[in-house]
């Protein structure tokens, strides 16, 4: 590595094998209290259903477990270490008070079926969050049940289907822009709809004329992300909504990019009929290495009767409760009420911000993205010069001439102490670099990022091979993904001695 980075320095990290490789009979990290009832005889209680052996489950001591997982943790990049510029992922700071309130005894240990009389606190948390999210989105009603964004999409399209069925028939198609997330078409297929692609115009927005031409009475809904995956606000959103509505279709908004809008504009005010939110993006609940998420779906009044069972209601005596008597409901999309632990965190985040904090957050997110855009212009190709909101998409067009692609640039960024941006998405940009800084980055961190990216652009000119072989400073170099997929090894096995 020829260039020095100001952001990071190499340091020693511990090696660590698989937990199974540390296991040996007789080691233990557990102790149960003495049994206060007579011992059970499994053979007589279970007969043939008794299990004799637990295979290769590990046997280790407590200190080994602490070291094992702590060592593994040090091999991860994380928000707590620095900027995580993944476009469309909204990797913002995860406040610790959110974790603290979620671990309060009466929050963490509530059984979902305990009597409502002694669940009023949990219900109040759900009710308060629901009210906040309805206000933030400008919608009329909400379900918190979906467990993630894609699950919210699924719920949304089930609502679309149920609504249209109540009007006569569910229709056949969902329109999806070519810039959309892969979950959108996958969801449409899951809900039994055919997918029709909608081309973007040269400014990177929905081609309104094309939409008008494609819209007909077979189209159930348009799934639109706004701002879209190029970070561009769909200016003609209301015309888009009108086109849909004029032929009886619905406008579904994918709320993945809501971080650009909160407290500045409300989807319910610009013609959206229903949308999902990602609490793990916009509302700061931690990503946890890939989940859990939470994907509430907010709707306009006409769709409310179809929301999944149960919904929260205030009873005649003033207490909160669940209403299961919802004859038009689409059913339910998961057991119980959703990822409640994410509700507490999202609500704590909203309370910490208040109306002024939420607005400043959105402004800073958009400011940061535009600052990066300005800082990298010239060094990287900007395929769509339309104004950016909370994220900006460059392409690797200039670097590709030297045989360096977006993934290579991203991997080189690791050596500079940053997590890569989102690569090769959206699909309408060849070799995309999709960058979303969020509001959580200081000017200093952004300057370091810009410096790193500009430095990499220079390296591409000087020594493209070094960039192509990056990262150079990580525990492992680039991994053979082709081999992993060709002959999958999905678990450790004793026999293989691996």
Partner 1 sequence: MRYLPKSPADRQTMLRDIGAKSIDDLFAPIPPEYRLGRDLDVPRQMAESEIVDWFRQRSGENGSEFTSFLGAGAYCHYRPVIIDSLISRGEFLTAYTPYQAEVSQGTLQAIFEFQTMISELTGMEAANASMYDGSTATTEAVLMAMRLTGRRRVVVARSVHPEYREVLSTYAYPQSIPIREIAFDQHGRINPSELESAITPETACLLIQSPNFFGTIEDVAAIAEITRRRGVLLVVSIAEAVSLGIVEPPRQADVVALEAQSLGVPLGFGGPYCGVIATREQYVRQMPGRLVGQTIDRNGKRGFVLTLATREQHIRREKATSNICTNQALVALMASIFMTVYGKVGLRELAKQNLAKAAYACQQFSKCAKILFAPAPRFNEFVVQTKEDPHVVNSRLLGHKIIGGFPLKKFFPELGNAALWCCTETVTRSAIDTAVGMLAESEADEPATEAEEVAL
Beta-sheet pairing, 311-314 with 320-323: antiparallel
Per rule CB under 8 A, is residue 173 in the interface with partner 1?
no
Nearer to partner 1, 273 or 441 (CB): 441
Structure tokens at 169: 């028939």
Would you give the binding string for partner 1 spanning residues 137-166, x where CB under 8 A is met?
----------xxxxx-xx---x--x-----
Radius of gyration of the chain (CA): 25
Q: Which residues neighbour 143 within 8 Å (Cβ) at sequence distance 6 or greater?
A: 155, 296, 297, 307, 308, 311, 338
Residue 488 region by backbone torsions, left for phi larger than 0, else alpha for psi between -120 and 50, else beta: beta
Structure tokens at 425: 């998405």
| 41-70 residues near partner 1, rule: CB under 8 A | 42, 45-51, 54-60, 62, 65-66, 68-70
| 84-123 residues near partner 1, rule: CB under 8 A | 84, 86, 89, 91, 93-95, 97, 99-122
Nearer to partner 1, 116 or 140 (CB): 116
Nearer to partner 1, 95 or 383 (CB): 95
User: Whole-number minimum distance, CB 248 to partner 1, in Å?
Assistant: 18
- Residue among 253, 275, 259 nearest 346 (CA): 259
Per rule CB under 8 A, is residue 383 in the interface with partner 1?
no
User: Whole-number minimum distance, CB 398 to partner 1, in Å?
Assistant: 22
Sign of CA dihedral 297, 298, 299, 301: positive
From the list 8, 195, 212, 379, which residue makes contact with partner 1 (rule: CB under 8 A)? 195
Q: How far apart (Å, rounded) are the C-alpha atoms in residues 81 and 68?
A: 20
Per rule CB under 8 A, is residue 11 in the interface with partner 1?
no
User: Whole-number minimum distance, CB 397 to partner 1, in Å?
Assistant: 22
Q: Which stretch binds partner 1 (CB under 8 A): 28-36, 206-214, 391-399, 454-462?
A: 28-36
The answer to whether the beta carbons of residues 102 and 344 sit under 8 Å apart is yes
- Kindly determine how many residues on this chain lie close enough to bind partner 1 according to the rule CB under 8 A: 202
Structure tokens at 55: 């295979």
- Residue among 357, 281, 438, 350 nearest 101 (CA): 350
Burial (CB < 10 A; 0-12, 13-18, 19+), residue 25, is exposed
User: Whole-number minimum distance, CB 116 to partner 1, in Å?
Assistant: 6
From the list 8, 398, 400, 414, which residue makes contact with partner 1 (rule: CB under 8 A)? 414
For residue 475, count other CB atoms closer than 10 A to its CB: 10
User: Whole-number minimum distance, CB 312 to partner 1, in Å?
Assistant: 12
From the list 351, 379, 400, 430, which residue makes contact with partner 1 (rule: CB under 8 A)? 351
Would you give the binding string for partner 1 spanning residues 196-225, x where CB under 8 A is met?
------------------------------
Nearer to partner 1, 183 or 399 (CB): 183
Per rule CB under 8 A, is residue 19 in the interface with partner 1?
yes
From the list 11, 12, 202, 479, which residue makes contact with partner 1 (rule: CB under 8 A)? 479
Burial (CB < 10 A; 0-12, 13-18, 19+), residue 261, is buried
| 304-323 residues near partner 1, rule: CB under 8 A | 308-309
The answer to whether the beta carbons of residues 4 and 455 sit under 8 Å apart is no
| 245-304 residues near partner 1, rule: CB under 8 A | 263-266, 269-270, 280, 286-294
Q: What is the DSSP letter of 277?
A: -
Nearer to partner 1, 6 or 111 (CB): 111
Three-class DSSP category at 191: coil
Q: How far apart (Å, rounded) are the C-alpha atoms in residues 43 and 121?
A: 44
From the list 4, 81, 209, 213, which residue makes contact with partner 1 (rule: CB under 8 A)? 81
Nearer to partner 1, 89 or 141 (CB): 89
Nearer to partner 1, 110 or 398 (CB): 110
Q: Which stretch binds partner 1 (CB under 8 A): 209-217, 297-305, 394-402, 434-442?
A: 434-442
Q: How far apart (Å, rounded) are the C-alpha atoms in residues 285 and 341?
A: 9
From the list 2, 485, 495, 497, which residue makes contact with partner 1 (rule: CB under 8 A)? 485
Per rule CB under 8 A, is residue 186 in the interface with partner 1?
yes
The answer to whether the beta carbons of residues 345 and 283 sit under 8 Å apart is yes
From the list 2, 12, 32, 168, which residue makes contact with partner 1 (rule: CB under 8 A)? 32
User: Whole-number minimum distance, CB 303 to partner 1, in Å?
Assistant: 16
Nearer to partner 1, 2 or 52 (CB): 52
Q: How far apart (Å, rounded) are the C-alpha atoms in residues 354 and 136?
A: 11
- Residue among 258, 251, 242, 241 nearest 220 (CA): 251
From the list 163, 306, 371, 384, which residue makes contact with partner 1 (rule: CB under 8 A)? 371
Q: How far apart (Å, rounded) are the C-alpha atoms in residues 410 and 467?
A: 9
- Residue among 113, 118, 131 nearest 343 (CA): 131
From the list 172, 355, 461, 462, which residue makes contact with partner 1 (rule: CB under 8 A)? 355
Three-class DSSP category at 186: helix
Q: How far apart (Å, rounded) are the C-alpha atoms in residues 1 and 6?
A: 13
Cα 126–280–424 angle (5° rounding)? 150
Q: Which stretch binds partner 1 (CB under 8 A): 211-219, 242-250, 386-394, 453-461?
A: 386-394
């Amino acid at each position: 590595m020829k260039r020095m980075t100001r952001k990071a320095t190499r340091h020693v990290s511990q090696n660590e094998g698989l937990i199974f490789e540390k296991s040996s009979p007789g080691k233990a990290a557990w102790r149960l209290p003495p049994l206060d009832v007579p011992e059970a005889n499994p053979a007589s209680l279970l007969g043939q259903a008794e299990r004799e052996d637990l295979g290769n489950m590990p046997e280790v001591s407590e200190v080994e477990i602490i070291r094992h997982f702590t060592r593994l943790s040090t091999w991860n990049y994380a928000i707590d270490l620095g900027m995580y510029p993944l476009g469309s992922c909204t990797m913002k700071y995860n406040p610790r008070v959110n974790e603290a309130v979620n671990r309060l005894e009466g929050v963490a240990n509530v059984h979902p079926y305990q009597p409502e009389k002694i669940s009023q606190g949990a219900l109040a948390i759900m009710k308060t969050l629901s009210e906040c999210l309805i206000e933030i989105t400008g919608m009329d009603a909400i379900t918190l049940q979906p467990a993630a964004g894609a699950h919210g999409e699924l719920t949304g399209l089930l609502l679309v289907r149920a609504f249209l069925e109540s009007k006569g028939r569910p229709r056949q198609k969902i329109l999806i822009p070519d810039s959309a997330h892969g979950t959108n078409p996958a969801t449409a297929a899951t809900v039994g709809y055919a997918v029709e692609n909608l081309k973007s115009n040269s400014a990177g927005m929905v081609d309104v004329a094309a939409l008008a031409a494609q819209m007909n009475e077979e189209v159930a809904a348009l799934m639109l992300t706004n701002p879209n995956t190029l970070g561009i606000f769909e200016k003609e959103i209301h015309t888009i909504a009108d086109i849909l509505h004029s032929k009886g279709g619905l406008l579904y908004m994918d709320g993945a990019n809501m971080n650009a809008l909160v407290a500045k504009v409300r989807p319910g005010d610009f013609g959206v009929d229903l949308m999902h939110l990602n609490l793990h993006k916009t509302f700061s609940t931690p990503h946890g290495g890939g989940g859990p998420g939470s994907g509430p779906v907010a709707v306009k009044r006409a769709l409310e009767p179809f929301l999944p069972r149960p919904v929260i209601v205030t009873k005649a005596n003033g207490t909160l409760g669940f209403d299961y008597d919802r004859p038009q409901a689409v059913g339910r999309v998961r057991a119980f009420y959703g990822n409640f632990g994410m509700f507490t965190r999202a609500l704590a985040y909203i309370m910490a911000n208040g109306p002024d904090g939420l607005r400043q957050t959105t402004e800073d997110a958009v400011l940061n993205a535009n600052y990066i855009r300005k800082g990298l212009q010239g060094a990287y190709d900007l395929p769509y010069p339309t104004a950016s909101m909370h994220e900006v998409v460059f392409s690797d067009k200039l670097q590709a001439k030297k045989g360096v692609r977006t993934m290579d640039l991203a991997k080189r960024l690791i050596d500079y102490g940053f997590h890569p941006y989102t690569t090769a998405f959206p699909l309408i940009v060849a070799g995309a670099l999709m960058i979303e800084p969020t509001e959580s980055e200081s000017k200093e961190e952004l300057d370091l990022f810009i410096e790193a990216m500009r430095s990499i652009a220079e390296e591409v000119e000087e020594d493209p091979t070094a960039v192509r072989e990056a990262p150079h400073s990580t525990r492992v170099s680039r991994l053979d993904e082709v081999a992993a997929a060709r002959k999958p090894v999905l678990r450790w096995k004793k026999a293989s001695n691996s």
